[in-house]
Structure 1
Amino acid sequence: MLSYSILQVASFLLYLSNVEEGGETMFPFENNSNKGTGYDYKKCIGLKVKPRQGDGLLFYSVFPNGTIDGTSLHGSCPVIKGEKWVATKWIRDQEQDDDF
């Protein structure tokens, strides 16, 4: 069996609903903030993008030279009021077969 990895180079998030409160997509390490501080994801600190129905968010996970961009690490703040619906498309560096 052939073994190799397929690198995820970018992500596209499409927000399918509005969220009344909370639910932001957060990038805790943007601008090299919060690194090495024992970051607590529950606090939801960092660059945040508020979900609005119909908006899209594209971000890259690697630099042009192929090294991983640690600031692309992301998460979701808890939804406090309402619901959050998102469609995600991962963009990879190789074509995939249907077997994956």
Structure 2
Amino acid sequence: MFKDFEFTDLKRLNEKERRFVKQRSSVDFVIYHKLDRSLALAIEVDGFAFHENNPEQLKRDEKKGEIFKKFGMELARFRTNESGEEQRIRELLSSMLY
């Protein structure tokens, strides 16, 4: 689930987005800053067959990305038919340090 403490000001969202956050929305992995437990990085793993051929899922994916943008957060997406995930995660984490 999206954590309530991460998305505290739901007034930034339209009604559909608020319902989306309050319902069963989730992300696959969340990395938090150790000191203040704020979100450092959220990761979604998109199954190629499920996401690529499913227009409804693509709309949900887009909505989730827009919600993260409205809160100034990045939602990194990884496809199951790609490679280089470890290097990409390292680069994303490294870019947050500077």
TM-score normalised to structure 2 length: 0.31
- The structure richer in strand per residue is 1
RCO comparison, higher one (Cα < 8 Å, 6+): 1
- The structure richer in helix per residue is 2
TM-score normalised to structure 1 length: 0.30
